[in-house]
């Protein structure tokens, strides 16, 4: 076997379609473009969304809704998830860096709100951005501390 004898496996390659090379080829004459019209001419190009002058879809469909540019979005974290974390790690303080290390939140999620689902049994200091009333009450009832930063 030598480099010049190598060739692809049988059926692995196809010959390209050669159009406009005479009537005998079966692809002469109109060169697979059909008869007349804009699309048969050389230099034809049309925007993919063009609908022949009909009112285009993006103008037919009305706009609706409103995106508030000042919306503040928090990542929700429930008490039962915090308790599971404490059981697994034995942590005494829960803060943003701790949650990022454990993969609970990503580094670009800056704001975290603690919600009141579940219960907290361990004594821990939680330093996060926001607490619901139920979560704050449950944390303080467990003898823990909730500090808003």
Residue 66 lies in a domain: no
User: How confident is the model at residue 137, as a pLDDT?
Assistant: 94
Per-residue HEC secondary structure of 82-130 comes to HHHHHHHHCCCEECHHHHHHCCCCCCCCCCEEEECCCCCCCCCEEEECE
Within a domain: residue 42?
no
**Contact in structure between 79 and 139 (CB atoms under 8 Å):** yes
Answer whether residue 79 is part of any domain. yes
Q: Please, which pLDDT band fits residue 1 given cuts at 50, 70 and 90?
A: confident
Distance CA 32, CA 134 (A): 72
For residue 124, what is the domain's CATH number? 3.100.10.10
pLDDT of res. 27: 94
In a domain? residue 97? yes
Residue 108 in this model has a pLDDT that exceeds 90: no
CB 143 within 8 A of CB 123: yes
Cα 82 to the center of its chain, rounded Å: 27
Q: Is residue 117 a part of any domain in this protein? A: yes
Number of domain units in the chain: 1
Which token pair is 133? 């009333």
> In which residue are the tokens 């697979």 written?
32
Model confidence at 91, in pLDDT bands (50, 70, 90)? confident
Whether residue 149 contacts residue 127, with contact meaning beta carbons closer than 8 Å, is answered with: yes
Q: Copy the structure tokens of residue 42.
A: 């050389």
* In a domain? residue 17: no
For 66-75, how does the pLDDT look when each residue is reduced to its tens digit (9 = 90+)? 999 999 999 9
Scored b (16 or more CB within 10 A) or e, 13-44 reads eeeeeeeeeeeeeeeeeeeeeeeeeeeeeeee
* pLDDT tens by residue, 23-53: 999 999 999 999 999 999 999 998 999 999 9
Q: Domain span at residue 138?
A: 75-148
Rounded Cα distance, 136 and 111, in Å: 17
In a domain, 56, yes or no: no
Taking residues 82-106, what's their average pLDDT? Answer: 90
Amino acid 65: pLDDT: 92
Query: What pTM, to 2 d.p., does this model score?
Result: 0.57
130 domain residue, yes or no? yes
pLDDT of residue 110: 83
Q: What is the pLDDT of residue 45?
A: 92
């Amino acid at each position: 076997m030598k480099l010049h004898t190598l060739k692809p496996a049988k059926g692995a390659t196809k010959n390209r379609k050669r159009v406009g090379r005479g009537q005998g080829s079966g692809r002469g004459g109109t060169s697979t473009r059909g008869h007349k019209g804009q699309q048969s001419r050389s230099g034809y190009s049309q925007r993919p969304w063009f609908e022949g002058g009909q009112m285009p879809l993006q103008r037919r469909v009305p706009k609706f809704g409103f995106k508030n540019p000042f919306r503040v979005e928090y990542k929700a974290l429930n008490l039962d998830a915090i308790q599971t974390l404490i059981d697994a790690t034995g942590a005494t303080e829960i803060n943003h860096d701790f949650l990022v290390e454990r993969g609970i939140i990503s580094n670009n999620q800056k704001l975290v709100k603690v919600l009141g689902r579940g219960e907290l049994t361990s004594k821990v200091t939680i330093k996060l951005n926001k607490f619901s009333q139920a979560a704050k009450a449950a944390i303080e009832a467990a003898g823990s501390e909730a500090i808003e930063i």
